[in-house]
């Protein structure tokens, strides 16, 4: 069960991602070369240096509902229409957190609570958003509405847990959803797009969201749908080759309906969100099986399930791009849809259709459910993987290998950022696994004790990317480039017997003070002994909260357990004056240089573009080419 099942609620509105931008450049982590200039607005494209990290929904309302095959869009038919999807009102807002400056393409939402509220403002249900990273980042917006618009869009799929209902709702759609969430969990999907980065516009730090809430059953994947996977080839700058991007769908054989999610797969013109009109689009089933990538098919080769209604007014707002195709009248489909590939067809050309996107070849697919991990030295964590064919679990062999194509940039073109994924033994894992009869396997990721301890020198830890694929798959298979596992391995360190401010604590806290001026200018001057000591109690609390707590410090979740233990020890071990030990200036170890760096590159970017995901991706590609040449 997932948000693609019934019943589901559609919501629409805005989100705020008040991210800080100084840390988008890895060289900002170098305390030795940091300058106060870096904290100024627009310095090197730093468009929000005083960002708070807050992620929250803004003005989101229920704009549609789906119940028993019926699409509801009017309050007169069901009271749920018009209700507000609000943030939790009993703790701080959620936070948006990059894994690392050198892996910014899987930003996670931490500590967010959501509530559905009725017209009186009373809570109907509330739940905690299970931490999730975005996936399927692509250039969805074709033109800027404002300077420096974020043209890339992405999707978050997760689960609300600890769902609590305030009694039995009177809305039929909500009653059905309540029954479907007896485990206390709901599936939630959010398409984020049209994000604004120009400080002069109302949309600054805001973007649009089209989302869905539906049933979830425990034991199923939380971050993708166990269904049919349409995988797009990607072109330059994260564009989709045929203008339609990767999406998922699900067959309900009982109701004889296919439900497809186009929410993050259709281009929009600009930040207003209108679709690019690419002519008629149709969902279809190919009546033959193929191991090849199709560019066109004859009309007779396909069973057309129906037109995608994206050109109808309000369609996206009321459906979030989810459409059902009833195939009950087509006996061939009834008999075959679960074993033949799906296609999305474009314009007809003299009896042939253009194939814009097709199902993973052979219907074969492998996916890691969670794909962002933080590991302490010697720590192991388990990655749940699923293998499917045409959406049904199959037992299959998966192979694993480093896949560093999408990590490692985040520096201006003219500097050499630290290399990533080195030393190679920073994280280890099996090279192959076979899923069980339920299509499931668990991969153990185990961190090593890195040597050198700080392979990147001025920034602790190291990032790795673990690629995976089916051992047996057609040669032409198009892989979803975002299907890899991102790992941050923390640097090993010992907790000294008597940590002091100058030797041990200040170098760590100064980095946070540099990178997050909203905190260091206005709350606690983290680089200043007196200010830290003055706020000792609140810091002790914030540093001791679990990582999932919305008040966890640091917000960036990038402090190793040993450094945390050292800071806690320092705060709790007063010297003769009753205050934490200050020690002697200039006793801190100077970080070593990075063990390896990447080449400088030529990049033509607008000044304002330099700290964004586009720059990140373009820089990656350029550095990869430069490496090949060298």
Query: What residues pair up with 399 in beta bridges, in sequence order?
Result: 432, 469
CA distance 119 to 133: 31
**Minimum distance from CB of 149 to other proteins (Å)?**
16
Restricting to residues 467-526, name those near other proteins by CB under 8 A: 518-519, 521-523
**Minimum distance from CB of 146 to other proteins (Å)?**
12
Rule CB under 8 A: is residue 617 a binding residue for other proteins?
A: no
Task: Give the N- to C-terminal CA distance of the chain in Å, as an integer.
Answer: 50
CA distance 183 to 508: 42
Stretch of 64-72, 212-220, 387-395, 537-545 contacting other proteins, by CB under 8 A: 537-545
- If 0-12 CB within 10 Å is exposed, 13-18 middle and 19+ buried, where does residue 437 land? exposed
**Minimum distance from CB of 136 to other proteins (Å)?**
27
Cα-Cα-Cα-Cα torsion 9, 12, 14, 19, nearest 10 degrees, comes to 40
CA distance 295 to 333: 22
Among 61, 92, 338, 595, binds other proteins (CB under 8 A): 92
**Minimum distance from CB of 204 to other proteins (Å)?**
6
Binding mask 53-72 for other proteins (x = CB under 8 A): -x-x-x--------------
For other proteins, the closer CB: 86 or 128: 86
Restricting to residues 202-241, name those near other proteins by CB under 8 A: 202, 204, 206
Stretch of 438-446, 503-511, 534-542, 602-610 contacting other proteins, by CB under 8 A: 534-542
The angle at the Cα of 567, spanning 562 to 570, to the nearest 5 degrees, equals 125
- If 0-12 CB within 10 Å is exposed, 13-18 middle and 19+ buried, where does residue 578 land? exposed
Among 12, 21, 24, 87, binds other proteins (CB under 8 A): 87
CA distance 3 to 12: 15
Binding mask 120-139 for other proteins (x = CB under 8 A): xxxx--x-------------
**Minimum distance from CB of 35 to other proteins (Å)?**
17
Among 309, 541, 547, 590, binds other proteins (CB under 8 A): 541
Residue listed under structure tokens 């720590």: 379
CA distance 153 to 121: 31
For other proteins, the closer CB: 170 or 476: 170
Is the bond into 423 cis (omega within 30 degrees of 0)?
yes
**Minimum distance from CB of 122 to other proteins (Å)?**
5
For other proteins, the closer CB: 227 or 517: 517
For other proteins, the closer CB: 269 or 542: 542
Q: What is the 3-state secondary structure (H, E, C) of 294-347?
A: CCEEEHHHEEEEEECCCCCCCHHHHHCCEEEEECCCCHHHHHHCCCCCEEEEEE
Select from 468, 476, 350 the least CA-distant residue to 403.
Answer: 468
For other proteins, the closer CB: 167 or 219: 167
Cα-Cα-Cα-Cα torsion 162, 164, 169, 171, nearest 10 degrees, comes to -30
Select from 462, 331, 328 the least CA-distant residue to 404.
Answer: 462
CA distance 558 to 98: 9
Binding mask 3-42 for other proteins (x = CB under 8 A): -------------x-x------------------------
Q: Are 330 and 389 in contact (CB under 8 A)?
A: no
Among 166, 352, 389, 477, binds other proteins (CB under 8 A): 166
| Size, binding site for other proteins by CB under 8 A | 37
Q: What are phi and psi of 57, to 5 degrees?
A: -85, 145
**Minimum distance from CB of 169 to other proteins (Å)?**
11
Stretch of 48-56, 71-79, 274-282, 436-444 contacting other proteins, by CB under 8 A: 48-56
Select from 191, 192, 168, 190 the least CA-distant residue to 179.
Answer: 168
Among 15, 43, 47, 93, binds other proteins (CB under 8 A): 93
The angle at the Cα of 303, spanning 302 to 308, to the nearest 5 degrees, equals 105
Restricting to residues 548-607, name those near other proteins by CB under 8 A: 550-551
Among 74, 89, 425, 606, binds other proteins (CB under 8 A): 89
Contact positions vs other proteins (CB under 8 A): 16, 18, 50, 52, 54, 56, 58, 86-93, 117, 120-123, 126, 166-167, 202, 204, 206, 518-519, 521-523, 537-538, 541-542, 550-551
């Amino acid at each position: 069960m997932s948000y693609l099942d019934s019943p589901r609620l559609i919501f629409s509105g805005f989100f705020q991602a008040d991210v800080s931008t100084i840390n988008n450049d890895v060289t900002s982590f170098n305390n030795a070369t940091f300058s106060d200039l870096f904290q100024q607005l627009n310095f090197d494209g730093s468009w929000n240096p005083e960002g708070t990290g807050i992620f929250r929904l803004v003005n989101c309302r229920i704009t549609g509902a789906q119940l028993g095959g019926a699409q509801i869009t009017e309050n007169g038919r069901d009271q749920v229409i018009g209700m507000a999807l609000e943030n939790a009102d009993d703790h701080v807002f959620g936070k948006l957190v990059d894994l690392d400056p050198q892996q910014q393409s899987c930003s996670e939402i931490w500590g967010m609570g959501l509530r559905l509220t009725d017209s009186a403002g009373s809570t109907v249900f509330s739940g905690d958003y299970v931490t999730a990273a975005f996936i399927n980042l692509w250039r969805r917006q074709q033109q800027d509405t404002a300077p420096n618009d974020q043209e890339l869009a992405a999707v978050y799929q997760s689960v609300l847990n600890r769902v609590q209902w305030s009694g039995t709702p009177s809305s039929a759609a909500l009653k059905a959803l309540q029954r479907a969430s007896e485990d206390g969990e709901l599936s939630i999907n959010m398409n984020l797009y049209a994000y604004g980065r120009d400080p002069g516009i109302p949309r600054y730090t805001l973007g649009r969201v089209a989302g869905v809430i539906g049933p979830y059953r425990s034991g199923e994947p939380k971050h993708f749908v166990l269904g049919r996977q349409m995988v797009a080839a990607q072109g330059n700058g994260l564009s989709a080759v045929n203008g339609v991007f990767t999406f998922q769908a699900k067959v309900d054989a009982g109701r004889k309906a296919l439900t497809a999610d186009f929410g993050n797969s259709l281009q929009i013109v600009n930040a207003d969100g209108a679709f690019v009109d690419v002519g008629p689009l149709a969902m279809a089933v190919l009546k033959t099986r193929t191991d090849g990538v199709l560019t066109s098919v004859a009309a007779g080769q396909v069973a057309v399930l129906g037109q995608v209604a994206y050109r109808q007014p309000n369609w996206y707002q009321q459906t979030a791009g989810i459409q059902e195709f009833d195939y009950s009248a087509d006996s061939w489909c009834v008999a075959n849809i679960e074993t033949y590939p799906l296609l999305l067809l474009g314009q007809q050309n003299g009896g042939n259709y253009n194939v814009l996107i097709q199902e993973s070849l052979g219907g074969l697919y492998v996916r890691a459910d969670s794909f962002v991990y933080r590991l302490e030295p010697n720590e192991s964590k388990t990655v749940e993987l699923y293998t499917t064919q045409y959406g049904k679990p199959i037992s299959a062999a998966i192979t694993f290998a480093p896949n560093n194509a999408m990590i490692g940039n985040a520096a201006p073109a003219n500097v050499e950022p630290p290399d990533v994924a080195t030393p190679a033994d920073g994280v280890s894992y099996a090279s192959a696994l076979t899923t069980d009869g339920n299509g499931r396997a668990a991969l153990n990721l185990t961190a090593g004790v890195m040597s050198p301890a700080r392979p990147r020198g001025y920034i602790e830890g190291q990032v790795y990317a673990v690629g995976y694929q089916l051992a047996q798959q057609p040669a032409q298979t198009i892989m979803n480039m975002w299907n890899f596992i991102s790992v941050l391995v923390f640097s090993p360190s010992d907790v000294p017997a008597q940590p002091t401010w100058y030797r041990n604590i200040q170098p760590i806290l100064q980095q946070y003070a540099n990178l997050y001026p909203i905190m260091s200018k206005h709350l606690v001057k983290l680089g200043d002994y007196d200010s830290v000591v003055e706020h000792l109690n609140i810091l002790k609390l914030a540093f001791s909260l679990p990582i999932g707590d919305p008040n966890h410090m640091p917000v960036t979740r990038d402090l190793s357990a040993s450094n945390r233990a050292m800071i806690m020890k320092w705060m709790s071990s007063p010297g003769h004056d009753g205050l934490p030990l200050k020690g002697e200036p200039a006793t801190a170890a100077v970080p070593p240089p990075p063990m390896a760096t990447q080449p400088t590159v030529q990049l033509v970017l607008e000044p304002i573009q330099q700290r964004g995901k586009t720059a990140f991706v373009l820089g990656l590609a350029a550095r990869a080419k430069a490496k090949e040449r060298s």
